[in-house]
Structure 1
Amino acid sequence: MPVIKILPHPEYCPAGAEISASAGTSICEALLEHDIPIEHACEMSCACTTCHVIVREGFDSLNPPDEDEEDLLDRAWGLTPQSRLSCQAIVGARDLTVEIPKYSINHAKEKH
């Protein structure tokens, strides 16, 4: 079972974490299943960018992004060549290292 290493994030995962995820699960689902409350304003329907992550290691083991995801990623804060929407990035057979960006463009988020 692949391991996802989550780099420290001040709000969602201050100490960082390592979690196991089944191949075929989205990164977003895996984080939520392990009580890492990543934003997902569109309920994982590929309609926003609030679940944007940067895959620091293991990027090539993920499914390729489709055109809808690529179009949305263009609007993500802090976009990099290793950016993915975690709701669309499906875990493969290799371990991953993931960074949750410090900011998102979720203007409706509570406690702002």
Structure 2
Amino acid sequence: MTQIIVLPHVELCPDGSVLEAAPGTTLCDALLEHGIDIEHACEKSCACTTCHVIVREGFSSLNVAEDEEEDLLDKAWGLEPQSRLSCQAVVAATPLVVEIPRYTINMAREGKH
């Protein structure tokens, strides 16, 4: 199992969290399985940016982002060099430190679909 430290997020996990995930699990699934209700408006199909996370430690251990994910990330709020869509980022054996941005862009919810 791989340790994932989730930094505090005002709404989703105010005190932060430490969880374990099996290698091969996506970050989104790991967060959801541990009660961190990260948005995933496209149902984890790599069609939105609502599950955007910033991987503060362990970024290089994740699978390489596909072009489709990279294109979507360009539209994410608060994009940083270590940004990933959590539905596409697959956990390996290296421990991770993850930050969930304070804001997300949900076009469907905001009436811009």
How many angstroms apart in 1 are the aligned matches of 2:13 and 2:41? 18
**Partner residue, 2:46:** 46
Count of paired positions: 109
**Partner residue, 1:93:** 93
How many angstroms apart in 1 are the aligned matches of 2:38 and 2:55? 15
Fraction of identical pairs, as percent: 66
**Partner residue, 2:11:** 11
**Partner residue, 2:84:** 84
RMSD over aligned Cα, in angstroms? Answer: 0.8
Paired amino acid for 2:27: I
Paired amino acid for 2:69: E
- SS of 1:30's equivalent in the other structure is helix
Residues 28-47 of structure 1: matches in 2 within 5 Å?
A: 28-47=28-47
| Alpha-carbon distance, 1:106 to partner | 1.3
| Unaligned segments of structure 2, at least 5 residues | none
| Alpha-carbon distance, 1:75 to partner | 0.1
**Partner residue, 1:67:** 67
Scaled by the length of structure 1, the TM-score of the pair is 0.96
| Alpha-carbon distance, 1:25 to partner | 0.2
How many angstroms apart in 2 are the aligned matches of 1:41 and 1:58? 26
- SS of 2:18's equivalent in the other structure is strand
Deviations 1:60-101 (A, max 9, x none): 000000000000000000000000000000000100000000
User: Post-superposition, which runs of at least 4 consecutive aligned residues in structure 1 deviate over 3 A?
Assistant: none
| Unaligned segments of structure 1, at least 5 residues | none
How many angstroms apart in 1 are the aligned matches of 2:26 and 2:81? 19
Paired amino acid for 1:2: T
